[in-house]
């Protein structure tokens, strides 16, 4: 059991029989009374997010997730198929569990699979991924006072703002934590 004051982004715990991961955490101390901890949580089984407020002094059961390396193979309807790199076992994960990683999934990419007591819960991306630009409007330098940008589409369908010099066919390094452009590879 851990105190809710120890919750931070990325911490996993059980509450009312469900598994949650902390997405956002805010500690708020009003003028009077106990501190309040506001959190945004993701249910690891369903993929749903919710906001939950705890009072200082509440306790939750922390858990440790198991991790193994898997390779992303392909998508078929509402399921994404992965392969364990040690046993070569193939298995599907539903679309709902992969909501935040879908824009960065490329076939044959290696990822970390999170599981708890044998139940597969989702995958964790590397910090950066390299993706090819498939659609980029021409960059027109005009009356700009700051860094001009344009919107491009990557091979996964993800759209983001990049500098004007980026062209179709370029490979970009993207930060998977916030979805921002890092550099051209």
CATH number at residue 20: 2.30.30.30
CA distances from 179 to 7, 24, 100, 133, 172 (A): 24, 17, 10, 14, 12
At residue 21, the pLDDT reads 87
Confidence of residue 142 (pLDDT cuts 50, 70, 90): low
**Entry pTM:** 0.75
Q: Which of 62, 95, 112 corresponds to the end of one domain?
A: 62
Give the domain extent around 14.
Answer: 2-62
- The strand pair at 12-15 and 159-163 is best described as unpaired
DSSP state of 97: G
Residue 175, pLDDT above cutoff 60? yes
Same-domain status, 70 and 120: yes
State the first-to-last Cα distance of the chain, in angstroms, to the nearest integer. Answer: 45
Residue 145, pLDDT above cutoff 80? no
Q: Are 25 and 31 in contact (CB under 8 A)?
A: no
Residue 146, pLDDT above cutoff 80? no
Q: How many domains does the chain have?
A: 3
Same-domain status, 47 and 82: no
Same-domain status, 54 and 86: no
Same-domain status, 119 and 134: no
At residue 140, the pLDDT reads 72
Per the structure block, which two tokens stand in for 54? 């705890």
Q: Which of 47, 62, 77 corresponds to the end of one domain?
A: 62
Same-domain status, 10 and 54: yes
Higher pLDDT: 142 or 49? It is: 49
pLDDT digits (tens, 9 = 90+) for 70-107: 999 999 988 999 999 999 999 998 888 888 888 899 89
Hunting for tokens 């091979």 — which residue is that? 155
What does the angle CA 126 – CA 127 – CA 131 come to, to the nearest 5 degrees? 80
Question: In the sheet where 119-124 sits, what is the strand order?
Answer: 90-94, 79-84, 66-76, 110-116, 119-124
Same-domain status, 92 and 114: yes
At residue 71, the pLDDT reads 94
Question: What is the CATH classification number for the domain harbouring 108?
Answer: 2.40.50.140
Instruction: Measure the CA–CA gap between 173 and 86, rounded to whole angstroms.
Output: 28
Confidence of residue 143 (pLDDT cuts 50, 70, 90): low
Same-domain status, 96 and 118: yes
Same-domain status, 107 and 143: no
């Amino acid at each position: 059991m851990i105190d809710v004051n120890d919750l931070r982004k990325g911490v996993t715990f059980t509450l009312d029989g469900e598994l949650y991961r902390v997405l956002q955490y805010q500690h708020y101390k009003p003028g009077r009374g106990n501190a309040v901890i506001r959190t945004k949580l993701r249910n690891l089984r369903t993929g749903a997010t919710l906001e939950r407020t705890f009072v200082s002094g509440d306790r939750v059961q922390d858990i440790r997730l198991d991790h193994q390396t898997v390779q992303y193979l392909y998508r078929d309807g509402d399921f994404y198929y992965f392969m364990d790199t040690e046993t070569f076992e193939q298995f599907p994960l539903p679309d709902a569990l992969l909501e935040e990683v879908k824009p960065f999934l490329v076939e044959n990419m290696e990822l970390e699979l999170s599981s708890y007591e044998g139940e597969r819960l989702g995958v964790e991306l590397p910090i950066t991924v390299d993706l090819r630009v498939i659609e980029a409007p021409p960059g027109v330098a005009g009356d700009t006072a700051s860094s001009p940008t344009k919107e491009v589409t990557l091979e996964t369908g993800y759209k983001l703002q990049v500098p004007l010099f980026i062209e179709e066919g370029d490979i970009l390094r993207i930060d998977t934590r916030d979805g921002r452009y890092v550099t051209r590879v």
